A = this chain, B = another copy of it.
Amino acid sequence: MSLHVDLETFQQKYKQKVEDMMIGFVTEKDMPSPIKESMVYSLEAGGKRIRPILLLAVIHGYGKDPQLGMKTAAALEMVHTYSLIHDDLPSMDDDDLRRGKPTNHKVFGEAMAILAGDGLLTHSFQLIAEDTLISSDQKIKLVNLLARCAGPEGMVGGQVADIEGENKRLTVEELESIHIHKTGKLLIFSALAGAIISGASEGELNKLEEFAHHIGLAFQIQDDILDIEGTEELIGKRTGSDETNQKSTYPGLLTMEGAKDKLRFHLDEALASLSGIGMETSMLEEIAHLIVNRNH
């Protein structure tokens, strides 16, 4: 069997399966209807589902059936979804819209949005625990890793550092640390979870962690670049939101040219970390290029 699969085909197939898994899991549970509606609303809000796709692409790259990672991939996307609901709250980023739809608290109120986030976070661990396709040892490794990547040492800590850094001029190191925690850690979970499910060696886990670390930073640099160049191309649109919000950004700290150099550096490092690894890496390379070349 050839492992060369087109990322777009793979993504279309598994994006739908991950969404069905998440929504099916929540829908079949017995709970008060307002919280079920609130949870499903945000789970349906879409996006590229890049995290679960990376997780499943790693499993595919090891020649295993991505189906083995479906529950973990759905759990991961639930954690990402909970973090968006809580980040959008009035006391945090106070966002009214996400991907063109009203944010969760705008539709269901603040209390329900907080509880829906709590519910999704709790369900993510339940989904992994209820998986019947992998061993208890693997499940416990995944629970532990997910907690470390999503919790105060990971994503939640990154959100705290981001709030603390508002309206301050950060150093590049401080900015990088925020992004490593806020965005990078869940991408690291994506890659490592796929490897744990595939039974990869310690050495390969290290290489995949390196890969995810660099694409996470590349992702964020490209975000900052798009916030400026995206708007420059669209006449009549206001100045980039980062500048409006006085956020420290890579172009702001390094100039646009410096930011683009750094973007290329992290892409090169990401690709280099895959060399010599015992798996088919073509889809992972595609994901890295996709992150750097995306225009939205």
Contacts and interface: CB of A to CB of B under 8 A. Distances in A.
23 contacts: A31-B153, A32-B157, A34-B160, A35-B156, A35-B157, A39-B152, A86-B115, A89-B114, A114-B114, A118-B121, A118-B151, A119-B152, A119-B157, A121-B121, A122-B147, A122-B150, A122-B152, A122-B156, A123-B151, A126-B144, A126-B148, A136-B137, A139-B143
A143 B160 CA distance: 26
A164 interface: yes
A112 B160 contact: yes
Interface in A19-76: 26, 29-32, 34-36, 39
Nearest to A30: B153
A92 B111 CA distance: 6
A130 interface: yes
Contacts of A250: none
A112 B159 CA distance: 10
Given A29-B152, A92-B114, A122-B151, 9 more contacts: A31-B152, A34-B160, A35-B156, A91-B110, A118-B151, A119-B157, A129-B143, A129-B144, A136-B140
Interface in A126-147: 126, 128-130, 135-137, 139-140, 143-144, 146-147
Nearest to A118: B156
A117 interface: yes
A199 interface: no
Interface residues of A, number: 52
Interface string A88-132: 010110000000000000000111101101110111011011100
A135 B245 CA distance: 49
A161 interface: yes
A119 B151 contact: yes
Given A115-B160, A137-B136, A35 B152 contact: yes
A32 B146 CA distance: 19
A86 B146 CA distance: 22
Interface of A: 26, 29-32, 34-36, 39, 82, 86, 89, 91-92, 109-112, 114-115, 117-119, 121-123, 125-126, 128-130, 135-137, 139-140, 143-144, 146-148, 150-153, 156-157, 159-161, 163-164
Identical subunits present: 2
Given A136-B137, A147-B122, A115 B31 contact: no
A72 to B, nearest CB: 13
A98 B22 CA distance: 36
Given A121-B118, A121-B122, A160 B130 contact: no
B156 A130 contact: no
B118 A91 contact: no
Contacts of A31: 152-153, 157, 160
B160 A147 contact: no
Given A29-B153, A111-B163, A157-B31, A123 B147 contact: yes
